[in-house]
């Protein structure tokens, strides 16, 4: 992609399989080879050179306990969401194997698994050639600051993998901040302090919320300022002032572009692709040097791609 007379290498550092929100159609057999072509076409339309695709592995026991505490309407909504966002590592591998030059995989691990389970899962993630691990405190029901999960983060760090951790609220019942409390960036700060060699990306830079946009942005900014090993991505953050503040206060090297495709209905979904997100990011009033880093160079360096 050429911008202001220069070539930009664009990395979408935050997306999911094209059918990630096809409620009732993903689980358990959700992969179809035609989806790879669909994703590549969307990337080409948007000028995206490389996409980072996330797996999502749920915690079945935590899932059931969570559902028990909800009213019937929220329970129904949560069950649908939890059922359809589940994305096995094997599904992401299918995409990576069919387009290894264009798609980078991030695996997922149930944080509540024991040490033997974690060893096995991280080994599989490495064998698949993935570059990182995606974790979601909201729907995996864990606190990143809890030292009980240190065996997981030690193994991720030892293998040289990057970990991207969801922050902010989530759709459905998780729009209630009380139900998304575990995804506050301040908890990622505790993790970063204990594991200074672990590369951490705060997804959505604490801002993900339809009802309260930018909800925990200040926390994300504080954590990323304090810890050299912490980065942020701008997926589903549509505030130019917040993104510009992040670049200004964290420096040009710590902010990554991401779209959250196909999770933003009517804007960044299967119908529209991620082109709107790319165009929006390119309208940011930033120097070209900062745009080049934001749109791809930072992710290339962090992920060695």
Q: Is the pLDDT of residue 75 over 90?
A: no
| pLDDT for 96 beyond 70 | yes
Give the model confidence (pLDDT) of 212-224 as tens digits. 999 999 999 999 9
pLDDT of residue 22: 67
Tokens of 77: 């909504």
Q: For residue 300, what are its two tokens?
A: 């290339």
187: tokens are 């908890």
Tell me the per-residue pLDDT of 115-162, one tens digit each, with 9 for 90 and over: 999 999 999 999 999 999 999 999 999 999 999 999 999 999 999 999
CATH class of 9-303: alpha beta
| Contacts of 27 by beta carbon, 8 Å cutoff, 6+ apart | 83, 84, 86
DSSP 123-156: HHHHHTT--EEEE-HHHHT--TT-GGGHHHHHHH
pLDDT tens digits, 166-179:
999 998 888 999 99
| pTM of this structure | 0.95
What the block records as the tokens of 89 is 């590592």
The pLDDT confidence band at residue 23, using thresholds 50, 70 and 90, is low
pLDDT at 25: 53
């Amino acid at each position: 992609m050429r911008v202001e007379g220069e070539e930009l290498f664009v990395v979408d550092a935050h997306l999911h399989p094209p059918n990630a929100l096809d409620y009732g159609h993903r689980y358990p057999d959700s992969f179809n080879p035609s989806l790879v072509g669909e994703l590549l076409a969307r990337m080409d339309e948007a000028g995206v050179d490389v996409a980072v695709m996330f797996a999502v592995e749920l915690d079945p026991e935590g899932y059931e306990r969570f559902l028990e505490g909800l009213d019937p309407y929220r329970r129904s909504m949560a069950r649908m969401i939890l059922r359809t966002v589940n994305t096995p590592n094997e599904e992401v591998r299918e995409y990576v194997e069919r387009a290894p030059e264009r798609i980078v995989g991030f695996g997922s691990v149930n944080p509540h698994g024991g040490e033997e389970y974690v060893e096995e899962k991280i080994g599989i993630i490495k064998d698949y050639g993935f570059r990182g691990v995606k974790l979601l405190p909201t729907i995996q029901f864990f606190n990143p600051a809890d030292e009980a999960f240190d065996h997981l983060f030690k193994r991720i760090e030892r293998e040289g993998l990057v970990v991207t951790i969801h922050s902010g609220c989530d759709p459905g019942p998780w729009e209630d901040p009380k139900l998304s409390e575990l995804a506050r960036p301040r908890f990622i700060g505790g993790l970063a302090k204990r594991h200074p060699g672990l590369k951490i990306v705060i997804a959505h830079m604490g801002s993900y919320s339809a009802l309260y946009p930018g909800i925990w942005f200040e926390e994300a900014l504080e954590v990323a300022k304090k810890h050299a090993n912490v980065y942020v991505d701008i997926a589903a953050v549509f505030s130019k002032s917040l993104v510009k503040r992040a670049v200004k206060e964290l420096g040009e090297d710590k902010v990554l572009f991401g779209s959250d495709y196909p999770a933003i209905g009517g804007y960044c979904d299967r119908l529209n692709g991620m082109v709107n997100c790319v165009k929006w990011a390119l309208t940011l009033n930033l120097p070209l040097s900062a745009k080049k880093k934001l749109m791809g160079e930072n992710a290339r360096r962090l992920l060695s791609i």
